[in-house]
Amino acid sequence: MNAQGLSLKAALIGVIGVVVVSVMVSYAELVITQIQIAICQFAPAAIGFLMLLTLVHRALRRVFRRWLLTPAEIITIYCMVLIGALITSRGLMEKLLPALVGVNYYATPENKWAETFYPHIPSWLVPFNPRGKEAQPVARMFYEGLRAGEQIPWGAWITPLLCWSVIVGAVFFAFLCLATLWRKQWVDHEKLTFPLAQPPLQLVGEVSDTFFSDRLMWAGFVVPVFIFTLNGLHNLYPSVPMINLQNNLNQYLVERPWRDISYTTIYCSFAAIGFSYLLPTELLFSLAFFYWLTRVMEVMASWLGQPVEAMPLYPTQQFIGFQVAGAYVVLAGFLIRAGLPHFKQVFRKAFGRAPEVDDANELMPYRVAVWGLTVALIVSVVWCWLAGMSWWLAVIEMVVYLFVVVPVLGRSVAEAGLMMAETSFRPIDLVRLLMPKHTLGAQNLTILAFMDAVFIRDLRGMLLTPVLDGLKMSSSVRLRPRALLAAIVLAMAVGTLTAAVVQLWLPHRFGGITMYSYVYRGNNLIGFRDHAAALQQPTGYQAQWLGYFVLGAAVTGFLLFMRTRFVWWTLHPIGYALSASWTMIVFWFPIIIAWVIKSVVLRYGGVKVYQRWRPFFLGMILGEFTMAVFWATFSSLTRKPAPFFPWP
């Protein structure tokens, strides 16, 4: 059977899905605020749309007695909707628009942002006048809403958005090139499991008949449906009892050294338990072990009287954050080294020296991927330089982002199956290993603050992972990768345009100050606060951070050595790299629960029992995400409060 291309039917349904989900995600996350339905690599909004599409499709099949959509078409639609959802949320738009005006609206004589940053902001970078005063009309209307007779100043936004589209397009294209270059190594050679691709595949084709008729699947589905229905009714009718899915442990730790532990909360996510059940037990143990090791290190540092200093912009301590940076650099190097035989073939093909290398089943030809990635990197660096960043700093910023952070997080999702990926350091933190931050100057730090907000920080919507998952699924449903590429590019364009229009309209309608605080007065401002403090109160060089970086690199090297040499070694370096991230803060408890359950099942029931119970845990994933979409829709229509969902 030949692989299928992109059908007009799938493209049209996918575009409609992208528009609908983009509007729903924008309203639910920014106006309703209680449910963040697209902040994960496995976005609840997308899986909810897929669940609805599948059920409608199955109902229509009973009438027409045939498949109206092929599995390849359904997966194409799902990938398009997922891309659109992520772009709407933390993948781009929720970070971009507020960053362009927040620095103007929240500038005051006290924080001195106007005199610190405005002289270094090019006029084409933002919709306000960087030579003007604080809280200009374009920023005031965005944050306070339109007054009588006012209209959205679309014209003020056109130039900066067009200029930002250059670097956004370059980064998105770099993701597509990276997915092309990494796919064969991770899918064919290393045979990673790609856990996030498994639930969608269960919903399509003939396999869905068995899946939907499995009582264990529906039993797992009912568990989160019951709990979130109960909690939702409690919000509407307080006399109805509720089941608490969050418990902050820091409130009980009030004495030193325990009070110096970073933010530690129990979040009970049934979807996270379901995903974790699909992962190897040694990986689950490693994730939990290294997470709690960071907490032990914080307690020990406080007990020994060492200064406990927060990592800028991240919920961990600096001595841990720099260890994580060392772990990332070593892991990225190891991934490249492990793939050297593959990459040699790729580059030989790109330079025309290996015509026998077959790249017909890749997302794009290797020559396009290699040279395209090179051009994307150059465009990104030149864009940062034109914006005012030093050329060498722009190179460090984009190289570390695209070739260290992005591949390691992509590997974390492909191998560790984490539905939310985040790091604990920025490229500038590697520069801090050699010089104090304030020596970079206000010009560099101003542009870095924009880059922090838009690209570098909060990578929970990074688009590399859904592209890789889509490629993994395409081989199972006989979908041509080049057809998937066309669908993804279409989804990127439609999702970006739709999200831009909707997310400009919403704050002008409701006022950004009344909307989701993290987006409008959190992520978009935190880089400016950090860099302003460095410029206004400079500190000297701290050599100990280099020591912690070397320690993290050495520990990761040791873990890799032991893992590649000894079968009995169980600690995984990915667990160390993710130990201090927001990902583990949210998911450490579900991971421990799944580790205990899976260990018991395998020990006393074996692989057959484990396989038999997989539908139950897949059902929990679908049940929780279906309820997230249901309550987001309900709250959007009624303006009633929604229940809390445990993946903030």
Residue 530: the pLDDT is: 95
Q: Is 399 inside a domain boundary?
A: yes
Rounded to whole angstroms, the Cα distance separating 368 from 465 reads: 20
Supply φ then ψ for residue 4, to 5 degrees: -95, 145
Q: Band of the pLDDT at 1, cuts 50, 70, 90?
A: low
Closest-CA residue to 317 (of 591, 586, 545, 573):
545
Say how many domains are in the chain: 1
Average pLDDT estimate for 497-526 = 96
Sign of the C-alpha dihedral computed for residues 610, 616, 617 and 622 taken in this order: positive
And the tokens for 336?
């490249």
The mean-pLDDT minimum among 48-57, 60-69, 531-540 falls in 60-69
Residue 290: the pLDDT is: 97
Q: What is the DSSP string of 33-50?
A: -S--TTSSSS-HHHHHHH
Average pLDDT estimate for 536-546 = 89
Residue 206: pLDDT above 70? no
Best-predicted range by mean pLDDT (35-39, 194-198, 289-293) = 289-293
The mean-pLDDT minimum among 50-54, 156-160, 395-399 falls in 50-54
For 7, 382, 387, the CA distances from 390, given in Å and listed in that order, are 46, 10, 9
Q: Band of the pLDDT at 58, cuts 50, 70, 90?
A: confident
Q: Is 647 inside a domain boundary?
A: no
Q: Return the C-alpha torsion angle 619, 620, 624, 625, nearest 10.
A: -50
Rounded to whole angstroms, the Cα distance separating 514 from 143 reads: 8
Asked if the peptide bond before residue 257 counts as cis, ω within 30 degrees of 0, the response is: yes
Residue 65: the pLDDT is: 62
Check if the beta carbon of residue 642 is closer than 8 Å to that of residue 635. Answer: yes
Q: Is 511 inside a domain boundary?
A: yes
Residue 306: the pLDDT is: 80
Average pLDDT estimate for 384-392 = 97
pLDDT digits (tens, 9 = 90+) for 568-601: 999 999 999 999 999 999 999 999 999 999 999 9
Closest-CA residue to 321 (of 573, 540, 543, 577):
577
Closest-CA residue to 84 (of 581, 502, 480, 490):
490
Q: In 187-264, which ranges are E strands?
A: 246-248
Q: Which residues pair with 479 in a beta bridge?
A: 4
> Could you tell me which residue, 164 or 261, shows the higher pLDDT?
164
Residue 336: the pLDDT is: 96
Q: Band of the pLDDT at 356, cuts 50, 70, 90?
A: confident
Q: Band of the pLDDT at 418, cuts 50, 70, 90?
A: confident
Average pLDDT estimate for 438-455 = 96
Q: Residue 234: which domain range?
A: 8-638
- Amino acid sitting at position 618: L
* Average pLDDT of the chain to the nearest whole number: 93
Q: Is 2 inside a domain boundary?
A: no
Residue 207: pLDDT above 80? no
Check if the beta carbon of residue 472 is closer than 8 Å to that of residue 568. Answer: no
Q: Is 70 inside a domain boundary?
A: yes
Q: Is 354 inside a domain boundary?
A: yes
Q: Band of the pLDDT at 66, cuts 50, 70, 90?
A: low
Q: Is 643 inside a domain boundary?
A: no
Best-predicted range by mean pLDDT (1-15, 67-81, 139-153) = 139-153
Residue 362: the pLDDT is: 94
Rounded to whole angstroms, the Cα distance separating 340 from 1 reads: 33
Average pLDDT estimate for 82-103 = 97
Q: Return the C-alpha torsion angle 432, 436, 437, 442, nearest 10.
A: -150
Q: What is the DSSP string of 287-306?
A: HHHHHHHHHHHHHHHHHTT-
User: What percentage of the chain has pLDDT greater than the value 90?
Assistant: 83
pLDDT digits (tens, 9 = 90+) for 613-645: 999 999 999 999 999 999 999 998 888 888 999
Check if the beta carbon of residue 75 is closer than 8 Å to that of residue 470. Answer: yes
Rounded to whole angstroms, the Cα distance separating 496 from 621 reads: 28
Q: Is 420 inside a domain boundary?
A: yes
Rounded to whole angstroms, the Cα distance separating 125 from 447 reads: 10
Check if the beta carbon of residue 139 is closer than 8 Å to that of residue 128. Answer: yes
pTM strictly above 0.85: yes
Residue 69: the pLDDT is: 87
Q: Which residues pair with 266 in a beta bridge?
A: 247
Q: At what angle do helices 582-604 and 606-638 cross, to 10 degrees?
A: 140
Indicate the SS3 state at residue 340. Answer: helix
Average pLDDT estimate for 361-372 = 95
Residue 226: the pLDDT is: 97
Residue 254: pLDDT above 90? no
